[in-house]
Every structure is written in structure tokens, then in C-alpha cells.
Amino acid sequence: MHRSTLVRLCLVALLPVALLRGESAVVAGGLNSNVRQLLVAIAADWSSAHGTLQHFERDAHGRWIKVGETVPVLFGKRGLAWGRGALEPGAALTGTTKREADGRSPAGAFALGLIYGNDAALPAGADYPFHQVTSRDAWPDDSANPFYNRHVEIDATKPPAWFAAQRMRTGDPAYRWRVEIRHNAEPAIKPGAGSATFFHLRRGPTRPTAGCTTMAEPALRELVIWLRAAAQPHYVLLPRAEYLRLWQSWKLPDPTLIFAN
């Protein structure tokens, strides 16, 4: 297959993501009022492989209001590392920087992309950009691949040589729904900085991930149904100390809402 064909297919697959972005989600270093849905995950520290996830929506006055229950989640088996997202963490950084295959989940603030599912459709009540994963879909995690950290649909009659090692799984129950966390996606993808970061189903209540954020099936189903593209949903993942340092400048929910329990 010619590279030009692959480029065209890749761009077609990414068009719905462009529709999700809308106006800039950032203003004066923090999230602006156009971001009306926010997922906040907190880890105890940089080495934690588990934590909690909470859902927030803005009320009519622009204030963050918690909705739903706090959900237990799992992170990378080696904890967290600073990712490349919508906001900059500023000076005096602790922690390390996310790298490919380091076993860490990216910390920071990230827009959400499409939902990629093995089913033909999302659960009843969901209304969010969706792509059904088939035998034609790939998401390269090889930093030498020209489509590193991008969703690509290939021509099944002429698959490129790298496709077998980079295809998206269709038969794995953990990947029934994959909600893209847009780490290392904008403004430009950096080879080797980490790829294929999603919310997906956990493989067990204590089994960490290679760098994604996972949860039980009822919790992920609820998240998928809750998301609305017009609300420009974002995801914030931080260790507790970093959240306390950044919440005001990033315009995040008050810590009393996060740590009330």
C-alpha cells in the first residue's frame, strides 16, 4: 500500500476528533468555561497504581458540581509520569516524564477523543462519536512508524508490513469500549513519548495497566453513557500533592469536593 493512501485513511479516521475540539479548551493557563464535563482521577503519589475517579459538570454559574459516585480505578503498574496534554504543569516539577513502554499512566489534563468499541454500537443512552473496531484498524505504538500514536484504517487487501504487530484487538473483553485519552496528541505527536492511552475495562480489581486507566464494567458503561461531545469532556489525572498545587491555576474543582471522603 502506498503511504499516500495510508495518510488519507488516517485523516478520515481522525475527522470526528477534530469535531470534538471546538473552541480552545484552555484560557489563562486553565480550562475555560466551554469544558463542561470533567473526569478527575487522583493517585496517592507518583508510584501509585490505583486511585479514584470522579465525574464533574458545570452548573449554570460555571461552578464544578460532582455527579455520580466515586469510582475505584487502576493506573500503570509503575504509577504515573507527566504526560503531554492540554495544560502545562509549570515549574518545580516532581515525578518523571512519560515514555513509551515505561508502565506509567500519563499525568496531566487531557481532552478526550473518540470511543472505539468492539460492539456495533454504544450502550443505550450513549450519544458520543464512536468507531467500531474491525480487522482493518491499527494504532501504532512503534515510535519509528510514521503513524505513531494515531488511529489508522488500512486496506485489508494490501496490509502494510507493520500491521500485524500494530492492529487493534477485537476479541479482548477488556477492550469492549476504549475511550481515547489524548495524551501526546496535540499540538504535535512526539515519537517515544507514549501512545494508545485509553479508559477501558479492568482485567481484575487489583491488576494495574501498561499505562491506561481502567475500571469495572458498570463504571465504564456509566462513563460512556454520560459523555457528551458538546461538553468538551476532559480528563485530569494527578497525584494528590500535584492536584493541591495546580487546581487553582488549572481552574479545577475545589479540593474539598475531591477529598471530601
CATH number at residue 103: 2.40.440.10
pTM above 0.85, yes or no: yes
pLDDT per residue over 189-237, tens digit each? 999 999 999 999 999 999 999 999 999 999 999 999 999 999 999 999 9
Answer yes or no: is pLDDT of 147 > 60: yes
User: The C-alpha cell of 222 is what?
Assistant: 456509566
| Gap between the Cα atoms of 33 and 63, Å rounded | 9
Question: Range of 144's domain?
Answer: 3-258
Strand partners, 36: none
Residues across the chain: 261
DSSP letter assigned to residue 169? P
Distance CA 153, CA 9 (A): 6
**How many structural domains are present in the chain?**
1
| Amino acid (1-letter code) at residue 53 | L
- Do residues 193 and 99 lie in contact, with contact meaning Cβ atoms separated by under 8 Å? yes
Q: Of 149, 243, 233, 138, whose CA–CA distance to 196 is shortest?
A: 149
* CA atoms of 215 and 179, how far apart (whole Å): 12
Q: Which set of grid coordinates corresponds to residue 27?
A: 484560557
pLDDT digits (tens, 9 = 90+) for 199-209: 999 999 999 99
8 Å CB contact between 259 and 160:
no
Chain segment 249-260, per-residue pLDDT in tens:
999 999 999 997
